[in-house]
């Protein structure tokens, strides 16, 4: 478990992950400056999401289920219209 957390923190850093981390820290700073506890909590949440490289779709809930079709194809007959 500790190895997974270490890998989550240290690997796969890219520009958007750095951007999310910077925005999370900026939200925390603004919350501290404005003395707003809810804003600080939101900043902590966004910072943790960036640190662990997760998001709202981490559980795969953002993708719709694939529609399973069991119907067979039918032959279509055409009539010539004159």
pLDDT tens, position by position, 71-81: 677 787 888 88
Residue 30 lies in a domain: yes
Residue 37 lies in a domain: yes
Average pLDDT score over residue span 36-60:
84
Residue 20 lies in a domain: yes
Residue 63 lies in a domain: no
CA distances to 6, 32, 68, 75 from 71, rounded to whole Å, are 48, 59, 9, 13
Residue 31 lies in a domain: yes
Residue 78 lies in a domain: no
pLDDT tens, position by position, 6-22: 776 777 788 988 999 99
Judged against a pLDDT cut of 80, whether residue 5 lies above it is answered with: no
Q: What domain count does the chain have? A: 1
Average pLDDT score over residue span 29-43:
95
- The angle formed by the CA atoms of residues 59, 61 and 66, to the nearest 5 degrees, is 120
Judged against a pLDDT cut of 90, whether residue 44 lies above it is answered with: yes
Secondary structure of the chain: what % helix, strand, coil (to 5)?
55, 0, 45
* Residue-number span of the structural domain to which 17 is assigned: 2-51
């Amino acid at each position: 478990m500790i190895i997974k957390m270490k890998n989550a923190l240290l690997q796969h850093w890219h520009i958007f992950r750095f951007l999310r981390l910077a925005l999370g820290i900026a939200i925390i700073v603004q919350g501290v400056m404005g003395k707003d506890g809810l804003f600080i909590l939101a900043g902590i949440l966004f910072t943790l999401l960036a640190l662990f490289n997760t998001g709202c779709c981490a559980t795969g809930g953002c993708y719709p289920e694939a529609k399973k079709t069991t119907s067979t194809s039918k032959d279509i007959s055409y009539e010539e219209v004159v």
